[in-house]
Structure 1
Amino acid sequence: MFAFAHIGDLHLEAATDPNVADLRAILAEVARLHARDLIDFAYLPGDLAEDGTAAQYAVLERALDDHPDLPVRLIPGDHDRQFGTMTAFDALFARVAGSARGGAHAARRNTLPRPRDPACVTQYYYAETINGVRCLFLDTVSAGYGEKGFGLDFRLGPRQLAWIARKLAKARAAGRPCAVFTHVYPDDLRVPEERAALAGLIRDAGVRLVEMGHTHYNELAPDGRTLYAAARSVGQNEDGSVGYAVAAIDGPAVSWRFKPLDRALPFAMITSPADRRLATASLDAPDGRIEVRALVLSTADPGDWTCRVRVDDGLPHPMIPDGPRSVRARIDWPEGARRLSVEIADGTVNPRTGAPNVDRDAIEPAGRLFTPPPVPERPGSDAFRLPAWAQKGVRGDQLGPNRNGRHW
């Protein structure tokens, strides 16, 4: 099972700001989970520094230095090229992404168009296979003009677009599942031809997951083939409790859920079967039974876990460990059943109340006659986003500055 933590846009400024304390707390929790082989890496989706300055990136580096064994994958956002230069980001990328903890990737020099002239800029895109999934990390930030709030938009450029096409085609030929990591929806790209090309490549290759920042709110937009998922910002907290998103690919199923920092571990997420809202195929239950798997995030010993699965309001069935990060059970799925829920207790207690720490996740599996929706009118956009889904931490109201013009 492929699983990672998505730590949303940071917008770091001063070391004493509240979002820095939040970042440090998130990194500490995620690092403990990685140390137990429960997640593969932490993803930072761009807009790491509010103004892209060396002093702001130094705040991030000091926080990352506290957890040198935590793998990190990062990309740039528009705020990272706020003043048209990427000198400070380039140094950060070389130290983090260029190191073993970041996958040992190098920046590339390419020419990007501007409204009036081309410019040779550094781009930060790369690919690697992580736990069986081919991962493409993209750079969607344009060249800009060096003036804050002016001239920045989202572009790929011809070289990066051709590179994406080659990487996805090769992965598809090899039968390897793919995930794409980017700062924005493909529909946010400035050039219509790039918009259509990227969305088409993603759909044609059957990319399972596109994980994004930029929105400042949690959002899920499945198109019947690919789940587009955006996670809220750590830097501007319009969307409730700060935290991080957890996403997983388990066989053909993709799952996603937000983990609030103020809610104690354990954390449970059903990874198979897929929920009907995220499904790409019918439920596999040829003999009236289904295999249920769930990701469990806990710093307690698995021997102390108590895991149970329930169909609708029926009796609970025990689940057993299936490797270090998941549990499983094979259960009856009666005709007409609708809801599947998993409950995890890990033996820890709330120090204030003395009550056991317990977490629950629930889904509604796709039916046996699932029909994928037609190709959306605006592929690669938020036009087909889901409404509120409290179980997954999705409010459905698009709070934040980037869709409705809300000021930070």
Structure 2
Amino acid sequence: MKNNEKTAKTTLSTLGVIACLGLGLAHAATPAALEKAADPIVLLKVADLHVTGPDSMAEFKQVIAFANAAIHPALTYIAGDTPHNGTLAEYQAYKQVRDTLQGPVFDVAGDHEAKGGGLEHYRKVLGEPTYSFALGKNWQVVGLNSMTVDGEQIEWARKELAAAKAQNRRGLLFIHHNFTGLKEKAAQDQLNALVKEAGVKLVLAGHTHNNTVINDGAGLQITTTSIKEPRGSDPSGYAIVTLDEGRAAWHFVPLKQRTVVAICNPVSKLMATGPEDLVSGWLNFRVKVFDTFAIKQVTAVVDGGAPMPLSQDKNGLWTGKWDSATVKDGEHTLKVSASNAEGWTTSEDIVFLVSQAKQYAAAPATVSDGKAGGGKGPKGGPDQKGGKAPKDGAGPADAGKKAKGKKQPVEANELPAPVRMALEKQAGKTEFSKLEKENKDGQEIYTAKWGPKETERELKLNAEGNLLESKEALAFAALPAPVREAAGKAQPGAKSFECKKLSTFSDRSAAVVYEVRGLADGEKLPPLRVSPEGAVTEGKGGKAK
């Protein structure tokens, strides 16, 4: 947390004033201010900084500049593995930069915090790694130290969450390790039992250096990729978490993105953990948009229909109404687009659930951008021998290594004019999560990716702007009926499906096939390739990952 507390476990909800022993804390929030935070509550989450010195936080400084100018979060959560070697100098360098963030900041201890002087340096600079406080009218935040998951800490957390539950507050855990990342199974079991007993809705973690959402049907456990060294397919970035009327939504933001659309209500199917997350009757769209430029227009489109303009209230929330009784129960798509004064348009796309009877059926699912692993620490740090990776594989990449392969990242202003025009026609003036160039058989090929996972699109074009390949993520309900039927028969044990439409273009014609991958009990089944007519072939690789 951004200030030093006097006790080993500070219960912020019971204090009138936070004891501020840190350096120049001009904006430390009182517990009362956090408890009175109005919905939607906006949290900024940054993970795995791996600070090695004052010059190792360029990415963090970018996030701070945008947060202070546009996001204005109720609080910022730094999800651990902040110092790389755990030295006092690294803590002090981090603290100096962190204190430029406006608003309260909360930290947690991870395995890299335990290096060097153990948690002695953590406590000296940041305070105690455990805390509890009320956030708004619906939430109780409990910060845990995942380096010492013992009976004492679990019992303390149990009491805090039980007291909050008695006041109709849902638990929200801040912890560095996701539970499966803990080496001791006993610790995993204790935390899983705590979450189940207390009815915790949301666990926010780091450690894995990739984006993963685990929905067990009753609660969410979400890790956010490292801002320093992402290991999945998603780029370096951070997360915005919105808490609105008991709902929780996680929005990943690539580091370069400068307009952010965050749909607070409804929440996506992936975030649904109870009846409160289902839509019935009249739906009130509730959307936050963050930008350093003025927002001129925000529209909502359901199931590809006509755009519905949203209006902005005095608190900056974009709202509008839609009658869900006009559609059938089940999955539906929502796209919210925001255009700023510079003419750029950014959108967020989700799949949401309609149930007029509010009948919630748990659908456990795990969505990840890839396995954690790999990555080397910087060479020659003060407490690290050159070139050796830390035991958990964490840390910033070796800056001396060059990327393998022929693919090279490019900026939008470096694209040939025909490619820029073709992409603008397909995507509008959006922010791309990936722009790459490669030379293939003597031809320059450009790849562009944009959008959230649930509706993500990827295009391959040649230098003349001609479309070569297209990948488009789809909801299962959006697949042609023969494809749905074939996938269901091929993988009857699947609880949900990840779906993509794959198109290959040649001589102005397109060959289309659908890639469908079932998820059962948190495990991915082998991918299937299904023709529009329902003919099934196994996808590439043929093995579950």
Say whether the fold is shared (TM-score over 0.5): yes
Partners of 1:73 and 1:221 in 2: how far apart? 23
Letter aligned with residue 63 of structure 1:
V
2:352 corresponds in structure 1 to 365
Displacement after TM superposition at 1:31 (Å): 2.0
Corresponding residue number in structure 2 for 1:125 = 130
AA aligned to 1:357 is W
Query: Aligned-pair distance for 1:306?
Result: 1.3
Identity of aligned residues (%): 23
Structure 1 segment 271-310 matched on structure 2, within 5 A: 271-282=264-275, 284-287=278-281, 289-301=282-294, 304-310=295-301
C-alpha distance 279-65 of structure 1, shift in aligned 2 (>3 A): closer
Mapping of 1:9-408 within 5 angstroms? 9-17=48-56, 20-34=57-71, 38-67=72-101, 69-83=102-116, 85-94=118-127, 107=128, 124-132=129-137, 133-141=139-147, 155-239=148-232, 240-265=234-259, 267-282=260-275, 284-287=278-281, 289-301=282-294, 304-322=295-313, 324-333=315-324, 334-336=326-328, 338-347=332-341, 349=342, 356-368=343-355, 369-373=359-363, 384-387=365-368, 395-398=369-372, 400=374, 408=397
Post-superposition Cα deviations, 1:99-132, rounded to whole Å, max 9, x if no partner, equal xxxxxxxx3xxxxxxxxxxxxxxxx200111233
CA distance in 1, matches of 2:213, 2:351: 16
Distance 2:279 2:231 in 1: 41
Total equivalences in the alignment: 334
Equivalent in the alignment of 1:6: 45
The answer to which structure has the higher strand fraction is 2
Contact 1:306 1:344 in 2 (8 A): yes
1:167 and 1:362, CA in 2 relative to 1: closer, same or farther beyond 3 A? same
Q: Alpha-carbon deviations, 1:26-51, whole Å to 9, x = none?
A: 111112235xxx42111111111111
Give CA deviations for 1:154-185 in whole Å, capped at 9, x if unaligned: x3122111011001111111101221110012
Distance 1:324 1:29 in 2: 19
Unmatched runs of 5 consecutive residues or more in structure 1: 95-106, 108-123, 142-154, 350-355, 375-383, 388-394
Q: Comparing 221-230 with 333-342, which one deviates more in the overlay?
A: 333-342
Structure 1 169/323 Cα, relative in aligned 2: closer, same or farther at 3 Å?
Answer: farther
Q: Distance in 2 between matches of 1:44 and 1:367?
A: 34
- The CA deviation at 1:400 is 4.7
* Cα drift, residue 235 of structure 1: 2.6
Could you report, residue by residue, the CA deviation over 1:365-401 in whole angstroms, capped at 9, with x for unpaired residues?
1231441147xxxxxxxxx5215xxxxxxx2444555
Shift of 1:58: 2.3
Normalised TM-score (structure 2): 0.57
CA distance in structure 2 between the partners assigned to 1:232 and 1:341 by the alignment: 24
In the alignment, the residues of structure 2 paired with residue 44 and residue 406 of structure 1 have an alpha-carbon distance, to the nearest angstrom, of 16
Larger radius of gyration: 2
TM-score, normalised by the number of residues in structure 1? 0.75
